[in-house]
Amino acid sequence: MKGDVILDKVLEAARLIKESESVVVITGAGASTESGIPDFRSNIVQPKNRKKYDYPSEVLLSHSFFISNTETFYDYYMNNLIYRDAKPNDCHKSLAEMEKYCNVLAVITQNIDGLHQEAGSSNVIELHGTTRRYFCMKCRKQFSLDDFKENQHVPKCDKCGGIIKPDVVLYEEPLNDRYLTMAANLVMKADVLLVIGTSLVVYPAAGLLNYYRGNKLLIVNLGTTPFDSRARIVIHESCGSVMKRILDGLKS
């Protein structure tokens, strides 16, 4: 019975997307867990982290800690936020291929893994930045993760010797106003708003849903969210399998 209900929801979601004028997608950590990247909130309580570090993760990944304890910051960052072998899963791939069958205005993501772009999504707004970009704090030279040497405790700029910083939004740092404004404007224009793999409790990203003016809010997430009652369709299943089935529905 449960399988039939989910199938009906998937088919209805595919129909709404197929008939829509435009789609905007918002993704969170659940979109990447099937690629082997753990949800951050689950990862921070791992025993190895409690034993190795004397600070909570919110402190370790804060701007002030990066400035004052750069070596410890990078030790934690490289061991807990970098997944070099992670590849796009069915969720990322389905969203990218979905562009062939409907008008996807953008994928707005809270994730920093770069997997949406790797899968082929053409317009991705990374609200929290990306682990794939870095810059020198002194001369602003740009770097990629591949530029870092093995066992380099604190990456330094080869041009000026300045400290290299990840292009991610750390605790104590504001989100990029331009990206937030772009995201809000796109959400307002959306006919269908598809939300995938996020608990919708982290602001200001979750606040983007308040800009939505349509009546076709679709939520795919393992757990419940504060916005479930507003949604046209809610599917509490793994993101990859649901998105693959929605894509199949778009193709048929």
Residues with active-site annotation: 128
User: What is the rounded CA–CA span in Å between residue 214 and residue 216?
Assistant: 6
User: What is the rounded CA–CA span in Å between residue 104 and residue 22?
Assistant: 6
Contacts of 240 (CB under 8 A, 6+ apart): 34, 89, 90, 91, 94
Question: Are the C-beta atoms of residues 113 and 138 closer than 8 Å to each other?
Answer: no
Q: What are phi and psi of 160, to 5 degrees?
A: -125, -5
Question: Are the C-beta atoms of residues 127 and 109 closer than 8 Å to each other?
Answer: yes
User: What is the rounded CA–CA span in Å between residue 206 and residue 26?
Assistant: 9
